[in-house]
Structures are given as structure tokens and as C-alpha cells.
Structure 1
Amino acid sequence: MDKRERMIPIAKPYLTEEEAQAAYDTILTGWTTQGPKVQEFEEKFAAYTGVKYAVAVSNCTTALHLSMIVAGVGAGDEVICPSMSYIATANAIKYVGATPVFAEVQPESYNLSPVDAEKKITDKTKAILIVHQIGMPADIDAFKELSERYNLKLIEDAACAAGSAYKGKKIGSNSELVCFSFHPRKVISTGDGGMITTNREDYYRRLKLLRQHGMSVNDRVRHEANKVIFEDHVEVGYNYRMTDIQAAVGIKQLEKLDWIVSERRKVAATYNEAFKDLDFIRLPSEKEGYYSNYQSYSIYLKRDCPLDRNSLMQELLDKGIASRRGVMTSHRETAYKNIQGNINLPVSEDLQDNSIILPLYVPMKEDEVTHVIDSFFNILMAPRVLTY
């Protein structure tokens, strides 16, 4: 057995024979593109999150792009968002010709700071795009109040947050446009894919048009019609469809979502208990009313940590344990350098540079969790020769 076969991965999707059978059965129906399974997945996802409508798309980036369009964000507008998020968050703003205005995050949650976001509001601000980073809900009420006070649109990047909840309500039901991801790194997966939830019928109808080339009559309606129908393309749209094969897998994944989240939370609780007395690290924490799916488990290393982050990652890798650096900061990527001149986001940069994401997935065996914990302690507590 080589090292890669023994490696504890940072994440992996929980997919079983049920999902494989669902995909197989769907393939045999002959309907493989967007069709009845997509509609079923949408209806079940809407019911799960507690909203009227859900629109399936090809991934969360396209979900964000379409949400920007229906929210009326366009050229010359500004959208406040965190830099500390995967670059797709900012990219979706650029796609519509608007400018992402990066604001600071809160160190404990990795989520956008309402205080700093308000400081960034100008007469060009059209929307605020919040991110529920690594599954931890952002302060939705604070941003709803801010958006209402300044007459701004609020959009949620919930790529990591399927199954998370905020003050007793599932993420997806708290604002007008909420975007999810079903990438393999997420809590449930369809291989890739996305979903937009909304309670607004006008948004729902336009989103369905935009994801399929602006086509007035979709394939399924034409297929089931007993009279000849000719479609019109009522506006310039996109090919952002989900396939029925993906949706069939998604339906099975959705049935397991609450159980998957409960299992992930058990692993996170084990980590928390093991590491709670290490005063040179900061662990993830949930405020009252915040319920995380623990899409990722991120630890912040304080200045008095015995080992720097990158060295710790390498030593974990040497022991067969994958890890990842803290969540990226988009403003330090080449594509966004100089977009706003000299950007000062010390909290975001510090979190990226000094955080480490540890393995967490379902099913993660007890001996795997123990190996991660023991290795973490052994590395950080090992005697070290000081060099000057």
C-alpha cells in the first residue's frame, strides 16, 4: 500500500450505491438533461429549506451570476463582499460589470463584519453579498437591517451551508436570493451543481429563463405537449442547466443531509474536546442560534503556537494527513491586485496565513479521527531545538 492509499484526505463526498443506482436508473429513462428529476430535486430542496421556490443550475458560481442579474446589479454598481472567500464570490460580481468592494471579516466566524461592511457603503453600492464561510452562518439579521436601511439588495453565498441553520431556520429561507453548491468538497454533492432558493415568484420565473438560453418553453413542456409548440427566446440567457442524472443523485443526497450534518458535527465535537485546552489555538465556535454543518473544520494558530502553519501542514502530510491553508483572500490573488488600490484587510490576511483546515468527512472512522488528533499533539508538543 503506497502513501496516497494510506492518506487521510481533507474531504471526500459521501456517495453510496443508492446514488449510483439513482444515476443508472435515470440514464435508462433516456432523459439525461434538465427534466423531471431536476424539477423533483428543486421541489424537495425548496421544501427542505422552507422556501417557495428553488432553481437548479450547473454550479454555485452560475447561481451567483444569475442572482446578480435578477437583483439588478450591473455596470457601475458596487457590491460589498468579503475578500476571504473562494474567488468565485468576487468573480460573480465582475461577470455583470460591477465592482466587488472587499470588507473585513470577523475573526471568530470568518464571516463578513456588518460594522466594516457599513463603512464601505457608497452611493454606488447596489448589494451586499454575504458568505456563510465553511458552513458557519453569517449574521443574517444584521445584514438584512443594513440592506433595508440603505435600500440595498442582499444575496447569500451559501455554497458551504446546505444543512446549516440560523435562529431555527435553515439557510436558504432567510433572504430573497440564496446560492448553494453541490461540489464534491461540499456537504452533499451531485458531482457539481448548484441551487438558488427564493420566495419571490418574479425572481423564480426569470431565473428559470436565464439558465436555459432565455427559452420561453423548456424541453420537458415541449416533450409532454399534445400540440406543436414553438419556443421563443425572450432575452439573452445562458446554458446553466443541471442534468437529470445529477438531480437524481441530489435527491438521494438530500434525503441524507440532516444525518450527514449530524455525523460531521460529531467529528467537530471530538476535535473541539481534544483541543480545548490548547491556549495557543482558537477553535471554531457557534454563537447561540447559529448551527453549522461544519463543511470544514478550521483552527487558527495564535502567535505563540510552537510551530508555524506551513511547517505544521508539512509534518501532518508526512504522517499521512492532508490539510489545507486558511480560506483564501481574493484581493491577494493576481486577478484582483490593484482592483481597489491599496486594500487594508489585516484580519482576513491574518486568518488566511495562520489557519489550518483539518480532515472532516463522512464516514470518518474513529481511528482516523484519533490519528489526526494524536498527530496534531505529537507535532506541536514535540521538543524542538532553538536556532538563532
Structure 2
Amino acid sequence: MIDKLALYGGKPVRDKYLAYGKQSIYDEDINSVIEVLKGDFLTTGPNVSSFEKCIADYVGTKYAVAFSNGTAALHAACYAAGISEGDEVLVSPMTFAASANCVLYCGGTPVFVDIDPNTYNIDVSKIEERITEKTKAIIPVDFTGQSVDIDKIMEIAEKYNLIVIEDGAHALGSEYKGKKVGNTAHMTEFSFHPVKPITTGEGGVIVTDSQELFEKLTLFRTHGITRDERFLNNNEGPWYYEQIDLGYNYRITDIQCALGLSQMRKLDDFISRRREIVRRYNEAFKKIKGISIPFEEEFSNSGWHIYVIKLKLEELKCSRKEIFEALMAENIGVNVHYIPVYYHPYYKKLGYKKGICPETEKLYERIITLPLFPRMSECDVEDVIKAVTKVISCYKK
């Protein structure tokens, strides 16, 4: 333990708090929303289909279906995959709870597969040992924006006749083997929460090349109601529609999609800025003993949704909490991504216990997320580097 008064007592690196993540909104984004507010459509309108086409074209898929949020999109993907009671779905535990909750929504059972200790993504070598006759799907997560090895996962899925729903919530704009993430899995989800690569306020999308899955996703988003003559039992006239399944009101609005379209025009610039900040971080932090910088596979060109350092606590002789609190005292907004899903009380009630994914649990005790977003100034980046250097050097004394 060090003298915390000595560490905290001096002037902090920053006078003002720096968030770990933040939306990047410009005047043209605001004006795009204002134009919709002056127009005829607020909910479902022409901007929705335009936004969906923009996303599909960007990642290279035939279809995109936008939803009110990323969790709704994952729920819809599980529905489209036919997940129901008795089905098992393989999921990474190093993710936000929604990646597993979507399985529960459909009556299925999440089965957690441990992570690769280098990439923090699902360990592909451990997938087959968790497959049973009940396994229906795999939900791999592109953690921090680094792509999973989706080709190998698809090979396993084909072998066992499984559906792959890639959780790319962090990965819009990331690349896998030179192609945009999103065009290999049966379905891929992207999120538009404010801290994600682009934002629509809240929002999500599923991209796919399958017309069958596209039709199921669209139906699920709109109460299970359709006007498509191919699916009607009767057709009483041009006003007529039928509810043919139990769906939800998961529609995204024209307001959100106008913002999304404007944001998409900046996405490549956003990604470029994120990569530049990460380059600066890596150069600075690889020289500091006591922490590990992120590892990136050769096949992945991450868009870097978040930047996660791993603490070498045995060298620092302290807890993660102490480092976390010290950085907060420097006005650096840090976070932890993520608490393993099965640690949550709700999952404990379902019977999940600690110890099932040892690599995930070991990593969780050591990680801290540092600020990373496109509108960070050079001064902001330098302040993060100074604060980490200061705190780590204090604990190494």
C-alpha cells in the first residue's frame, strides 16, 4: 500500500473530468434531425430504409433491419434463429449482459465459453467441447472492436448445423481479413448507443444475406404483423393486415435514422481518429512496467470501441480498485468492461457459479478501460497518458 494522501494530495492531472466514452455530434447531425422534425414522418419513414441500405452497403450484406436498440436487435436475431425452450446457445462471458439475456428472452439457455487470454474474445478452441445435442447457436462477441476469428467459428457452425449471431456491437467499421465485420456470420448485430462507433441515441441493427432471416427479423420488429400478401390467410383489401406471430414493437424512428445517416458519413473518420489515439496509447504504455497493452490478431483491424489495459497486480502489489480510484482522482473517467455475465445475481439464481470460465475471471480482476472517443483533443490524450504514468509509477515505488 502507498500513502494515498501523497498520491491524491497534489494537483490532479486534469481540472475537469474526462469521460471514458462520449458521442461525437456535429452541426450537420443536429440539422439532419431538425429537418425530420419539420417533415411528415417521426416514427417509421423514408430515413429508416435509407439508413438500413446505408449500413448494408457499408458492411457488404444484402439486408439490414434496424431496431430501437441493440438488445432488441439481438432478441430479434435469436427469434429469427428459432431459439426456444430447451435450446442452448454458446456465448462469451466477457460482454454486456444483453449478449446472453437475448437467449433467455426466447426461452433458451446461455452456455458460457471461456475467452482467449490474449484477445479476450471467445476461445475458438474451446467451442466444440461445449457443444451438445441441445446447442442451437453461437453468439461470439467482437470485444473492444477486435473481430473474432469468424471463419473458424463458421466452420464449426457448419459442422454442427448451428446458427451464428455475431455480436458486433463494438465493431462497426472494424475489419476481418481486409473486409468489414458483418458479412460472414448468418446474422451480425451492431449497436448505436452514444459511446459506440456511431450513434442514433439508442438503436441497433441486424445485417444478413438471408432473405428468410430478413423476413423474420422484419416481422418480429413490428408486432408480428404483416401486410405482405404472400403471408396473409385472407386479403380483404388494401387496408388489410394480419398478425401471424407474436412480435414486439421494436421499431426505430425516422429521427434516429436521420442522425444515423449523418453519422455514417463520418464513420471512417471516427475510426481513423480512434486508431490514432490507440497508436499514441500503445507507444506510451508499452514502456510502462506494470501494465499490458491490448493484443491484436493479424487478421483483425479493430475500430477500437474501447481501450482496455491489463494490470500486472503482482508487480504493482495493489488491487485494481486502488488504481481505478487513483485515476478517478486525476479526473480520468475510467470504467471496467465487463463484469462476467454469470457473476450477476440474476444469473446466480439461475444456477451459474464462479469457476466455469477461469480465464475470464482472472482477466476481470485486472482490467481497466481508459477514455477513447473521436472528439478527444490532443491535450485529452496526453492527460490520460500522464495520469496513467503518474499512478502506475506511484504504485511501483
Normalising TM by the smaller chain, what interval?
Answer: over 0.9
The reply to whether residue 239 of structure 1 matches residue 249 of structure 2 is yes
The residue aligned with 2:217 is 207
Taking the TM superposition and a 5 Å limit, the aligned residue runs for 1:100-179 are 100-179=110-189
The residue aligned with 1:315 is 326
CA distance in 2, matches of 1:6, 1:102: 40
The residue aligned with 2:291 is 281
Counterpart residue type for residue 389 of structure 2: F
SS in 2 for 1:266: helix
Counterpart residue type for residue 324 of structure 2: M
The reply to whether residue 266 of structure 1 matches residue 266 of structure 2 is no
CA distance in 2, matches of 1:55, 1:384: 50
CA distance in 1, matches of 2:322, 2:98: 28
Aligned partners of 2:277 and 2:372 also within 8 Å = yes
CA distance in 2, matches of 1:291, 1:384: 33
CA distance in 2, matches of 1:217, 1:270: 53
The residue aligned with 1:381 is 393
Counterpart residue type for residue 252 of structure 2: M
SS in 2 for 1:56: strand
The reply to whether residue 360 of structure 1 matches residue 385 of structure 2 is no
CA distance in 1, matches of 2:293, 2:351: 32
Structure 2 CA distance for partners of 1:384 and 1:284, relative to 1, 3 Å: closer
Counterpart residue type for residue 371 of structure 1: D
Aligned partners of 2:90 and 2:130 also within 8 Å = yes
Tell me which of 91, 95, 99 is aligned to 1:89.
99
Give how far 1:278 is off. 2.5
SS in 2 for 1:250: helix
Give how far 1:309 is off. 1.6
Question: Structure 2: where are the runs of 5+ without partners?
Answer: 1-12, 229-236
Give how far 1:263 is off. 0.3
Post-superposition Cα deviations, 1:129-157, rounded to whole Å, max 9, x if no partner, equal 10001111111111111111111111111
Question: Structure 1: where are the runs of 5+ without partners?
Answer: 219-226
CA distance in 1, matches of 2:158, 2:80: 18
The reply to whether residue 71 of structure 1 matches residue 81 of structure 2 is yes
The reply to whether residue 331 of structure 1 matches residue 342 of structure 2 is yes
Give how far 1:341 is off. 4.7
Taking the TM superposition and a 5 Å limit, the aligned residue runs for 1:4-43 are 6-43=16-53
CA distance in 2, matches of 1:383, 1:99: 43
CA distance in 1, matches of 2:150, 2:191: 19
CA distance in 2, matches of 1:196, 1:383: 45
SS in 2 for 1:147: helix
The reply to whether residue 189 of structure 1 matches residue 199 of structure 2 is yes
The reply to whether residue 230 of structure 1 matches residue 240 of structure 2 is yes
CA distance in 1, matches of 2:118, 2:84: 33
- Quote the sequence identity (%): 38
Structure 2 CA distance for partners of 1:268 and 1:178, relative to 1, 3 Å: same
The residue aligned with 2:231 is none
The residue aligned with 2:362 is 350
Give how far 1:230 is off. 1.9
Structure 1 stretches of at least 4 aligned residues deviating more than 6 Å after TM superposition: none
CA distance in 1, matches of 2:89, 2:22: 33
SS in 1 for 2:226: coil
Counterpart residue type for residue 117 of structure 2: P
The residue aligned with 1:221 is none
